[in-house]
Chains A and B, each alone.
Chain A
Amino acid sequence: MTTARVAVSTPRRISLPTDWLPPAIVFVAVILALEIGLRAFNVGAFVIPLPSAIAASIGEQWPTLSRGIAYTGGEAIGGLVVGLVLGTVAGLATAGWQSARDTLLPIAIAASTVPVIAFAPITLNWFGPESIMPRLVIVAIMVFFPVMANTIRGLTEVPPAALELMDSYAASELETLRKVRVPNALPYWFTALRIAATLSVIGAVVGEFFGGPLYSLGIYITLETGHSRYPTAWAAIVVACALGIGLYVAAVVAERLAIPWYAARQSAVG
């Protein structure tokens, strides 16, 4: 499903209006253009419903959709936490141990390439259709690899001179881990968290296509599409997107709070 996405993005501060105003204007403009264009060319709702119709559906279906957000969001967050913990522990455990890393990483890569579509029905057999576990497992597996890979990178890609410096202090391995490797790894780890946050919602929704309560977003999208109720299906899609964006923003906020120096350096150094 996911390939190795371990690139380090460069976060910027999103505080000035000049930062968020341009994308907001473009977003509103695209929605307006879509609305006008779809009306002008009389495009059918089965292709894309009118944005206004989708918005109206969100309003009408809110009681169901809000339950879906809570349920699917819970799956995403639950799987995310499990994947984060396991990925971080695996990264910490193997970073200082080359042979363990070489053994475990290929397995992690293999796990991350398992297509969710193929894997989801099998997890359903494991836990039964009533259980939340299938989605937790799917999300955790998707999240595990980028977290582990980035944790290892952050712990190992330390300037050699920084390690020599610690050697010159006769510092213990644990001290070097605490004072150099872990702080060095935090930006990498938070990059993984951002990737994982969006992956978790995708994993949860796709997992639900194969089973879950009727109000869960994935099932809801499938059912409404099956009944040709396109605006309500799209309403659920938009809500799922918003959920993903919400988790991503939460990840960014967590990063700002945990390592404020990183964003400050990025905006200073460029």
Chain B
Amino acid sequence: MTGEAAVTARSAVVEVTGVDKVFGAGEAAVTALQGIDLAIGPGEFVSLIGPSGCGKSTLLRLIADLIPPTSGTVSVNGKPARQARLDRDYGMVFQAPVLMDWRTVARNIELPLEVMGYPRAERARRSGDLLRLVELEGFEGRRPWQLSGGMQQRVAIARALAFDPKLLLMDEPFGALDEMTRERMNLEVMRIWRETGTTVVFVTHSIPEAVFLSTRVVVMSSRPGRINRIVEVDLPQPRTFETRESERYFGLVTAVREALRGDTESEGDAVGEPGADRAAADRVRAEGYA
């Protein structure tokens, strides 16, 4: 847990304290998250990684105040998550681009600006700037279905950045893209993160992606979803194509993979043996991070 000490409560952009999330009630209740504590400082790029069902997307939605926690508190920019949402403190990118087919690319980017009442000239100026940022100049008049999957997701990122949020929440944004497009998009996101100085919380199930992008990787385990370990990624900035070939990178990928494996192995063994899950997680913690 090396990273957390660095982020004090006062400076934190995101602060999750003692959060549990239970879906359903009674017999059908499912504990999606249990005892989550996480603080994310300004300018950080934090990835949430874990097996399916570990609650990583749920945690992101709690930060976004799209769902409420069952217990515990979530604060964003020092205020309750709900207030932060009402103040439009964050931009969100989903796994699907969620573009409106009845709008052009430029007007999709302007959608949040329209909702927030920006004047027309300002909207046009911003969408022009953002099209340049995501390298889609010349596509402003196209329709979403005329773009490739990677281009659509770039439009979604531009839209999330349109109102200059200081926090960007990304929920497996490249999960549906092929490997090559994904690597290109990773470089793109790195560049945007550097240029805008935005704090990013990024949900993924790709270990290489998490290590390449992040300053910290939060490794989660499932049933119930808990934070298993936090891996500090000290790869030098800016990260480039060569970063992926460095020895340090491979070492970190291995560290994250091992932290994850501790969990998934126990999942396989744990049939009818509820304690095994927790025991495996504790073993990983005890080993520490090499």
A128 to B92, CA, bound (A): 62
Interface string of A1-33 (1 = CB under 8 A from B): 000000000000000000000000000000000
Does A259 touch B at the CB level, under 8 Å?
yes
Closest chain-A Cβ to B204's Cβ sits at a distance in Å of: 17
Q: Is B85's CB under 8 angstroms from A165's CB?
A: no
If the complex has contacts A161-B98, A165-B92, are A179 and B111 also in contact, measured as CB distance less than 8 A?
Answer: yes
Q: Enumerate chain B residues within 8 angstroms of A166, measured Cβ to Cβ.
A: 115
Closest chain-A Cβ to B152's Cβ sits at a distance in Å of: 13
* Size of the chain A interface, CB-CB below 8 angstroms: 23
Q: Is A165's CB under 8 angstroms from B94's CB?
A: yes
Closest chain-B Cβ to A163's Cβ sits at a distance in Å of: 10
CB contact between A164 and one of B87, B88, B94, B143 (< 8 Å): that residue: B94
Q: Is A168's CB under 8 angstroms from B102's CB?
A: no
Q: Enumerate chain B residues within 8 angstroms of A169, measured Cβ to Cβ.
A: 88, 111-112, 115-116
Interface string of B43-67 (1 = CB under 8 A from A): 0000000000000000000001010
Closest chain-A Cβ to B163's Cβ sits at a distance in Å of: 8
CB contact between A162 and one of B64, B100, B114, B116 (< 8 Å): that residue: B100
Interface string of A146-174 (1 = CB under 8 A from B): 00000000000001011011111111000
Does A47 touch B at the CB level, under 8 Å?
no
If the complex has contacts A169-B115, A171-B115, are A183 and B64 also in contact, measured as CB distance less than 8 A?
Answer: no
If the complex has contacts A179-B115, A268-B146, are A168 and B101 also in contact, measured as CB distance less than 8 A?
Answer: no
Closest chain-A Cβ to B111's Cβ sits at a distance in Å of: 7
Among B86, B94, B116, residue most surrounded by chain A Cβ atoms (within 10 Å): B94
Interface string of A164-193 (1 = CB under 8 A from B): 111111110001000110010010000000
* Size of the chain B interface, CB-CB below 8 angstroms: 23
Which chain A residue has the least Cβ–Cβ distance from B91?
A: A168
Among A179, A186, A268, A269, residue most surrounded by chain B Cβ atoms (within 10 Å): A179
A159 to B98, CA, bound (A): 8
Q: Is B145's CB under 8 angstroms from A269's CB?
A: yes
Does B136 touch A at the CB level, under 8 Å?
no
Question: In residues 72-108 of chain B, which contact A (Cβ within 8 Å)?
Answer: 85-88, 90-92, 94, 96, 98, 100-102
If the complex has contacts A169-B112, A169-B115, A268-B145, are A164 and B102 also in contact, measured as CB distance less than 8 A?
Answer: no
If the complex has contacts A166-B115, A183-B102, are A265 and B143 also in contact, measured as CB distance less than 8 A?
Answer: yes
Does A122 touch B at the CB level, under 8 Å?
no
A204 to B66, CA, bound (A): 50
Does A261 touch B at the CB level, under 8 Å?
yes
Q: Enumerate chain A residues within 8 angstroms of B98, measured Cβ to Cβ.
A: 159, 161-162, 165
Q: Enumerate chain B residues within 8 angstroms of A179, measured Cβ to Cβ.
A: 100, 111, 114-115
Q: Enumerate chain A residues within 8 angstroms of B111, measured Cβ to Cβ.
A: 169, 179
Closest chain-A Cβ to B216's Cβ sits at a distance in Å of: 24
Does A264 touch B at the CB level, under 8 Å?
yes
A68 to B146, CA, bound (A): 47
Q: Enumerate chain B residues within 8 angstroms of A268, measured Cβ to Cβ.
A: 145-146
A259 to B90, CA, bound (A): 32
If the complex has contacts A167-B66, A168-B85, A169-B88, are A183 and B100 also in contact, measured as CB distance less than 8 A?
Answer: yes
8 contacts between A and B (CB under 8 A): A165-B98, A166-B115, A168-B91, A169-B112, A170-B88, A179-B114, A186-B102, A269-B145
The 4 closest A-B pairs by CB, nearest first: A168-B92, A183-B102, A161-B98, A169-B115
Q: List 4 extra interface pairs beyond A161-B98, A168-B90, CB under 8 A.
A: A165-B92, A169-B116, A170-B87, A262-B102
